[in-house]
């Protein structure tokens, strides 16, 4: 799904726009036991309650693509005949009304999910009359050429607040506020089927994880039986390690700056062009940058081999997961220096009298612990 398509579905989560009629789900305690289940019509809630529920569900469609949101692609054989895909299709086609399918899905989630504490499993179903959009981007809300039917699953931790002293304005007094259970924003979830080219794609789902360092692969295995990309934080760590190990002594400051500079330029160019498709970089693009830096061929072959072992031969990565576009960080075991990435020219490495140094050019405005100092 593109950013525009995700945004179009996100806009559905407003009381005046949504066609969600009810909310299904259950409350699971820390022992993985279902404490209660609910099938709650939105029409029976107050406007404020409905807004908060829709806002919570909407968070399952938030974040950056390739970092918080991932496309999960089903194999053709899965769509033709597989238990996991049949279950998802039953939930969708029945509007969450197939009780056997709902209970089977809830049990599958509970059995697979590794999450501490209590949580809610929320399920919402909607039928969306997709407005017609002409070739020039013009939208006609009163002209719908197709219907998109889908459901959204959100897994929300439920956390116990701490007792606190509170001021009750209407009673004009201070009083103790007891501990209470509050629903937190979704930790993970998904939308099925995907909204591709503004229509349903039963070969794909959109997967969400709040924490870029955790992708909950065990949940994806149970629900989709598909491998999803490794967490963004792990992608960055893995890429950095394989780059350093592959290049060995040829991994210089200049080479790292060239790679990160090229990736940062790709991010900025993609943003300026306002492209809808998610930005991705292949191993060949990185290899070309390394070639331009004069890295020997044997090092390039090692990089290619280790990339395939770590990520797979055909996987492209999001540059946003690989670099910190906001800072250039130079670190030793005892010293860490952060530099504006646009001023990488201020930093160089040099060997003086057999000793390795990191040199940073300093003109004026130098401070130590907030105190202005002079270099003479």
Q: What pTM does this model have?
A: 0.81
Mean pLDDT of the chain: 88
C-alpha distance across the termini of the chain, in Å:
58
Distance CA 163, CA 158 (A): 16
- Which pLDDT score is estimated for 143? 59
Q: How much of the chain exceeds pLDDT 90, in percent?
A: 39
Give yes or no for a contact between 146 and 135, defined as CB atoms under 8 angstroms apart.
no
- Which pLDDT score is estimated for 155? 96
Give 256-304 pLDDT, tens digit per residue. 888 888 888 888 888 888 777 778 888 888 888 888 888 888 988 998 9
Distance CA 146, CA 200 (A): 10
Distance CA 205, CA 208 (A): 10
Give 211-269 pLDDT, tens digit per residue. 988 889 999 999 999 988 888 888 889 988 988 998 888 888 888 888 888 888 888 88
Location of structure tokens 């919570």: 56
- Which pLDDT score is estimated for 292? 85
Residue 120 pLDDT level (bands cut at 50, 70, 90): very high
């Amino acid at each position: 799904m593109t950013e525009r398509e995700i945004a179009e579905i996100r806009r559905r989560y407003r009381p005046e726009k949504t066609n969600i009629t009810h909310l299904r789900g259950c409350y699971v305690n820390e022992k993985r036991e279902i404490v209660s289940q609910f099938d709650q019509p939105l029409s029976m809630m107050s406007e404020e309650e409905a807004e908060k529920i829709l806002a919570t569900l909407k968070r399952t469609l938030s974040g950056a693509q390739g970092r918080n949101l991932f496309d999960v692609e089903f194999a053709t054989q899965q769509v033709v005949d597989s238990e996991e895909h049949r279950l998802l299709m039953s939930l969708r086609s029945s509007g969450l009304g197939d009780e056997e399918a709902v209970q089977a899905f809830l049990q599958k989630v509970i059995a697979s999910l590794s999450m501490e504490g209590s949580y809610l499993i929320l399920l919402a179903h909607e039928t969306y009359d997709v407005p017609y959009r002409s070739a020039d981007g013009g939208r006609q809300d009163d002209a719908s050429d197709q219907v998109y039917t889908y459901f959204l699953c959100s897994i929300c931790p439920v956390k116990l607040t701490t007792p606190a002293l509170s001021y009750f304005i209407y009673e004009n007094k201070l009083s103790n506020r007891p501990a209470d259970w509050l629903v937190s924003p979704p930790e993970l979830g998904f939308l099925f089927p995907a909204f591709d080219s503004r229509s349903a794609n039963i070969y794909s789902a959109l997967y969400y994880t709040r924490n870029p360092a955790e992708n909950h692969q065990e949940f994806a295995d149970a629900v989709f039986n598909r491998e999803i990309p490794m967490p963004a934080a792990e992608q960055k760590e893995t890429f950095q390690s394989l780059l350093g190990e592959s290049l060995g002594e040829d991994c210089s400051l200049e080479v790292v700056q060239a790679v990160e500079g090229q990736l940062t330029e790709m991010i900025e160019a993609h943003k300026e062009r306002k492209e809808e498709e998610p930005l991705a970089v292949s191993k060949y693009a990185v290899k070309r940058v390394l070639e331009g830096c004069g890295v020997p061929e044997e090092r390039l072959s090692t990089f290619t081999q280790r990339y395939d072992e770590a990520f797979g031969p055909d996987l492209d990565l999001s540059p946003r997961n690989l670099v910190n576009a906001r800072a250039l960080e130079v670190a030793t075991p005892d010293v860490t220096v952060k530099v504006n990435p646009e001023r990488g020219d201020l930093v160089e490495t040099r060997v003086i009298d057999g000793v390795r140094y990191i040199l940073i050019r300093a003109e004026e405005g130098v401070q130590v612990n907030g105190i202005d100092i002079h270099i003479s």
